[in-house]
Amino acid sequence: MVNGDTTAEPDENFFVDLANPTNAVIGNGHGTVTIINDVPIRLGAPSYSVNEGAGTVEVTFTRASGATAAATVNYQTINAAGLNNCNMATGAASSRCDYLAAPLGTVSFAANETSKTISIPIIDDAYAEGTENFQIALVSSVGASLGVPTSATIAITDNDSVNGSNPIDTAVFMVRQHYLDFLSRNPDQSGWDFWTNQITSCGNDSQCTEVRRIDVSASFFLSIEFQQTGYMVERFYKAAFGDASGASTFGSNHQLPVPVVRFDEFLRDTQRIGRGVIVLQPGWEQLLESNKQAYALEFVQTSRFTNAFLNTTSPAEFVDKLNQNAGNVLSAGERATAINLFGGAPSSANLNARAQAVRMVAEDQTLYDAEYNRAFVLAEYFGYLRRNPNDAPESTLDYTGYDFWLTKLNQFNGNYIQAEMVKAFLSSIEYRQRFGP
C-alpha cells in the first residue's frame, strides 16, 4: 500500500580485450581485474510490441550459459517525443503520457543465470494516435560486456479508433497513474483497491468525489514511500549542492532560491532508492535501508559530487559545506558526530564516511521540516506534469508558477487543501491532457 561488488562506480571503465574477446577488463583507477569467460549481456530481441491496454510490456535481458560470475547491466528508456503535447500523434511514444520512463534501471544476473525480465508500465490513454514507438537501450555493465542487440524498439499499438472520454476521471485509472507518477511502480493490489474505494465509496455524490480525489492524490506525496524515496532525493541534492537560482515575475521581477535537483535526476534517483520497495509488504524496511545505503555510496562517487567535494577536503570542511548547503541545520553535537564518521583522518576521502555524512545531513529533521513545502510544490510539477517548473509549456519559462504556489502554500502553513494547490494541479488542462481530450 501507499503507506562480490555489483554496483557500477562512476569512474569505472569497461572494455573488452580484442585479442581474447572472452576476457573483459575493468579499469577502476586502482589496477585492472580480468573477468574470465565473459558472457555478454544483451536484450532478448531487437523489437517488442504491446497493446496499449495491456498494462505492461515485458522486456528480456539474456546471456548465454557458462557465465560463472554475477553481473549487472544498466539500461534506460529513450523519450524521442520530448515535451510535446500528449494529444499530438507523431509516432513517438511519450514518457509523459504513454509509458513509465526509466532514466537508469539496473538488472542483476547471478552466477549461471541466463535470463531476466523487466516490466515497463504502459499508459492506456484515450487518444486515437496510431502505433507509437520508444526505445530501450543498454548503457553500461559490470562483470560482463554488452552484446547485440544493445537497443530495442517498443511499439505500442493503439486500442482507440476515435478519441474517447478522459480516463483520469475514473478512480481505477487515476489511482494507478498516481502509483506510476509518484512511486514509479505499478500498484500492489491491496493498495490499488484501498485508494480506489476511497473515491468510489462516494457513489453519485460529486462533491464527496471531488474531495476524495484531492485527498487521495495528496496522500501519495504524504505517503511513507514517497517521503523515503522522492523527498529523500530532493534533500540529498540540497545537502550536496545547495540551491539553484530561478527567475520569477510573481509580484515583481526577482530571483529566488529553488531546489537544485532536476526532473530526470529526481526520477532516476527516486527509482534507485525505491527499487523493489512496497511499504507494508514483508521485508520492505530492510530493503529500503539497503537501497538507501547503496544509493548514498553511489551518490558520493558521481563526478558532480567529487568535483564539488575534493578528496583533500578535511572532514570538518566537508561536513561544514554540507551543513551550509542544507541551511545550517546541524546542532553542534550533530556536526561533531558527522565529523567523527571519518575516524580522525586528515582528509574526507573515505567513501563510506562520505556517504554516511551526506545521508546524516539529508535525513536531519530540521532540514526535513524546512524543505517540506518547497519539495511539495516541486513534486506537483514532477508528479502531475512530469517536467521541471521552468520547462515548456510553462508560459513564462521560469519559476513564476512555482513561486506562486510556494507563496500560497506558505501562507496557509502547508495546508494544501486551503491553498487549493493539489486541486489546481489535478484539474489543470496540462495534467488532464496527458490522458485524453
Q: What is the CATH number of the domain that holds 133?
A: 2.60.40.2030
Band of pLDDT at residue 20, cut at 50, 70 and 90? very low
Residue 293 φ/ψ, nearest 5 degrees: -65, -45
Same domain assignment for residues 238 and 112? no
Q: Which helix (H) or strand (E) holds 50?
A: strand 47-51
Q: Domain ends where: 96, 128, 157?
A: 157
> Can you tell me the mean pLDDT for 400-418?
98
| Residue 430, in any domain of the structure | no
* pLDDT value of position 177: 98
Give Cα separations from 335 to 128, 172, 331, 342 (angstroms): 58, 47, 6, 12
Residue 341 placed within a domain = yes
> What domain range is 45 assigned to?
39-157
| Residue type at 427 in one-letter notation | S
- Please check whether residues 268 and 151 belong to one and the same domain: no
| 294 and 413, same domain (yes or no) | yes
User: Is 115 in the same domain as 253?
Assistant: no
pLDDT tens readout for residues 187-207:
999 999 999 999 999 999 999
User: Is 64 part of any domain?
Assistant: yes
pLDDT higher than threshold 70 for residue 272? yes
pTM reported for the whole predicted model = 0.90
Residue that terminates a domain, selected from 111, 129, 157: 157
DSSP H or E run through 73: strand 71-78
> Which region among 75-89, 166-180, 242-256 has the lowest average model confidence (pLDDT)?
75-89
Task: Specify the pLDDT at position 89.
Answer: 87
Is 171 within a domain? no
400 contacts: CB under 8 Å, gap ≥ 6: 247, 248, 249, 250, 394
Please compute the mean of the pLDDT values over residues 324-336 and round it to a whole number: 98
Q: 236 and 138 in one domain?
A: no
* C-alpha pair distances (Å), 47 with each of 31, 40, 92: 38, 19, 15
* Single residue among 141, 157, 173 that ends a domain in this structure: 157
| Structure confidence at residue 34 as a pLDDT band (50, 70, 90) | very low
Domain contains 27: no
Do residues 396 and 259 share a domain?
A: yes
Mean pLDDT across 355-373: 98
Q: Would you call 65 helix, strand, or coil by DSSP?
A: coil
Determine whether 110 is exposed, middle or buried from the number of CB atoms within 10 Å of its CB (0-12, 13-18, 19+): exposed
Let me know: does 196 contact 3? Beta carbons within 8 Å. no
pLDDT exceeds cutoff 50 at 311: yes
Q: Do 237 and 382 reside in the same domain of the chain?
A: yes
Please say whether the beta carbons of 133 and 81 come within 8 A. Answer: no
Cα end-to-end span (Å), the chain = 30
- The residue whose grid cell reads 531546489 is 259
Specify whether 372 is located in the same domain as 258: yes
| Structural domains in the chain (count) | 2
Within-domain flag for 363? yes
pLDDT at 37: 60
Which amino acid belongs to residue 228? Q
Across the range 126-135, mean pLDDT stands at 96
Q: Among 363, 356, 106, which Cα is nearest to 227's?
A: 363
pLDDT over 90 (residue 9): no
SS3 at position 210: helix
> 365: pLDDT confidence band, cut at 50, 70 and 90?
very high
Same domain, 244 and 140: no
pLDDT-derived band at 31, boundaries 50, 70, 90: very low
pLDDT tier at 418, thresholds 50, 70, 90: very high
Q: Cα(192)–Cα(194) distance, rounded to whole angstroms?
A: 6
63 lies in some domain: yes
Looking at the fold, whether 250 and 146 belong to one and the same domain comes out as no
62, 39 contact by CB (below 8 A): no
- Residues 53-82 have pLDDT tens digits of 999 999 999 999 888 899 999 999 999 887
Same domain, 101 and 236: no
Question: CA dihedral defined by 23, 36, 105, 148, rounded to 10 degrees?
Answer: 40
- Pairing type for strands 32-35 and 42-43 reads unpaired
**28 touches 10 (CB < 8 A):** no
Instruction: Work out the mean pLDDT of the chain and round it to a whole number.
Output: 92
The rounded percent of the chain whose pLDDT value lies above 90 is 88
pLDDT band, residue 52 (cuts 50/70/90) = very high
Q: How sure is the predictor about 29, in pLDDT bands with cuts at 50, 70 and 90?
A: very low
Report the candidate in 371, 406, 379, 389 with the shortest Cα–Cα distance to residue 226.
379
pLDDT of residue 5: 43
Say which amino acid occupies 145. S
Say if 183 falls within a structural domain: no
* 152 and 237 part of one domain: no
